[in-house]
Amino acid sequence: MKELTELKKVVSHPYAYIRKYKKQTGKKIVGYCCSYAPEEIIWAAGALPVRLFGTNQNIHLADTHLQSYCCSLVRGILEEALDKTLDFIDGVIFPHTCDSFQRLSDIWRLNITGQFHIDVVLPVKLDTPSAKKYLADVLEKFRKDLGRALGKDITDAQLARSVKTYNKIRALVGKLYELRCANPQIISGADFHAVIKAAMIMDRDQYLKILTQIIKQLQKAKPRKNRADAKRLVLSGSVCTHPDMYGIIEKAGGVIVWDDLCTGYRYFEGQMNEKIAPLKAITARYLKRVICPAKHMELRGRGENLIRLVKQSKAQGVVFLLLKFCDPHAFDYPYLKEMLEAEKIPFMLLDMEAELPSAGQLQTRFETFIQIL
């Protein structure tokens, strides 16, 4: 499928794509590192929001700012900022996430010059009236801050258009999840991963067009016969930057049928109400979305959601991908584990260090788990 090839090209060389895109369109590029970044507002302002994933390789500049017990995601992102890999960025925004990203914002502000920098200090709890009001205030403030940085007013009409685009993208990606859940053979794990990741990089209108085509073709295509013996799994964690994770799991006899990742379904879930003021609609979606563990909503919300996902997707097990030194996820793991045990859902934990074990070693670990299912 030529559309898929195009997405895969973007995902394998995202910075080349963005540089070329910036040159051709003259659009501003805004970097962000968290699924709570109000992208709809950035896109409405005519700028391209790009999620930063950092590098795993040869981190040395970041070492002079961050200690070794900081997660590889934060260190990797800082490394790319310091070594000028990200010099195409016009501005960066930091939604409040965790203690590490909070300090990354400070370090970035003090060391990276020549671009605008906006902190979006979101509430940490999302389930009280005052927090809801504050969230709305913060997003309104962000709209003004970003407008000032870009030298323009961001109108309601622009926001409404952006909300529509994002709704369409998210609905289609939701459709893709359902198609793949019903028949995992319909698209390979690696291709699926590329489609997901491209949504955080590409021009959103262009992406929507390509995604529409891909879904149309997948719906028409006669799906290959389902591999009955492949064990159905749900991935849970924060980011999955390993491009081959899906492929390795498939080689080990499993298949990812759903996920609970902030670079996965958590990023796409939830529609915005197009009948109300767009900023209100954006706010409302954040209040309904399943939370990142750095936020607070209900005491067992994430566990209940994970069990619901496993049941709905008829999965047989859960793979936890935990980034080493990621506190919020590490604190939640024991209670999630306990809830899964109570439901007799098998799981495995993959602690991800900066340098992942080789594909062969990973495959063996997955095989060991999959064999017991």
Residue for token digits 């991963």?
Answer: 193
**Closest to 233 measured CA to CA, from 216, 255, 261:** 255
Distance CA 195, CA 318 (A): 22
Residue for token digits 């920098």?
Answer: 117
Tell me: does residue 134 bind another protein (CB under 8 A). yes
3-state secondary structure labels for all residues of 222-272: CCCCCCCCCEEEEEEECCCCCCCHHHHHHHCCEEEEEEECCCCHHHHCCCC
The contact mask relative to another protein for 330-369 (x = CB under 8 A, - = no) is xxxxxx-x-------------x------------------
**Closest to 17 measured CA to CA, from 190, 201, 212, 200:** 201
CB closer to another protein, 114 vs 334: 334
- Phi, psi (degrees; rounded to nearest 5) at 25: -100, -20
Cβ 260 to another protein shortest distance, Å: 17
- Of 119-127, 154-162, 239-247, 271-279, which segment contacts another protein by CB under 8 A? 119-127
The contact mask relative to another protein for 227-266 (x = CB under 8 A, - = no) is ----------------------------------------
The only residue of 106, 178, 205, 274 in contact with another protein, by rule CB under 8 A? 106
- C-alpha separations of 64 from 53, 76, 79, 82, 214 in Å: 20, 13, 10, 11, 44
**Closest to 25 measured CA to CA, from 204, 169, 272:** 204
Cβ 63 to another protein shortest distance, Å: 9
The only residue of 16, 124, 171, 182 in contact with another protein, by rule CB under 8 A? 124
- Of 19-27, 50-58, 95-103, 211-219, which segment contacts another protein by CB under 8 A? 95-103
Cβ 62 to another protein shortest distance, Å: 10
- Of 29-37, 257-265, 267-275, 328-336, which segment contacts another protein by CB under 8 A? 328-336
Cβ 322 to another protein shortest distance, Å: 8
CB closer to another protein, 15 vs 134: 134
How many Cβ atoms from other residues are within 10 Å of residue 9's Cβ? 14
Cβ 300 to another protein shortest distance, Å: 7
Residues 6+ apart with CB under 8 A from 254: 230, 231, 232, 233, 317, 366, 370
Tell me: does residue 280 bind another protein (CB under 8 A). no
Residue for token digits 């970041």?
Answer: 62
Tell me: does residue 314 bind another protein (CB under 8 A). no
Distance CA 123, CA 95 (A): 10
Residues 6+ apart with CB under 8 A from 342: none
Interface size with another protein, residues (CB under 8 A): 50
Tell me: does residue 173 bind another protein (CB under 8 A). no
The only residue of 202, 293, 306, 345 in contact with another protein, by rule CB under 8 A? 293
Tell me: does residue 119 bind another protein (CB under 8 A). yes
Tell me: does residue 300 bind another protein (CB under 8 A). yes
Distance CA 42, CA 273 (A): 18
Pairing of strands 231-237, 48-51: unpaired
Question: Is residue 298 classed as helix, strand or coil in its secondary structure?
Answer: coil
Tell me: does residue 328 bind another protein (CB under 8 A). yes
- Of 2-10, 43-51, 209-217, 319-327, which segment contacts another protein by CB under 8 A? 319-327
- Interface residues with another protein (CB under 8 A) are 64-67, 69-70, 96, 98-100, 102-107, 109-111, 119, 121, 123-125, 128, 130-131, 133-134, 137-138, 141, 293-294, 296, 299-300, 322, 324-325, 327-328, 330-335, 337, 351
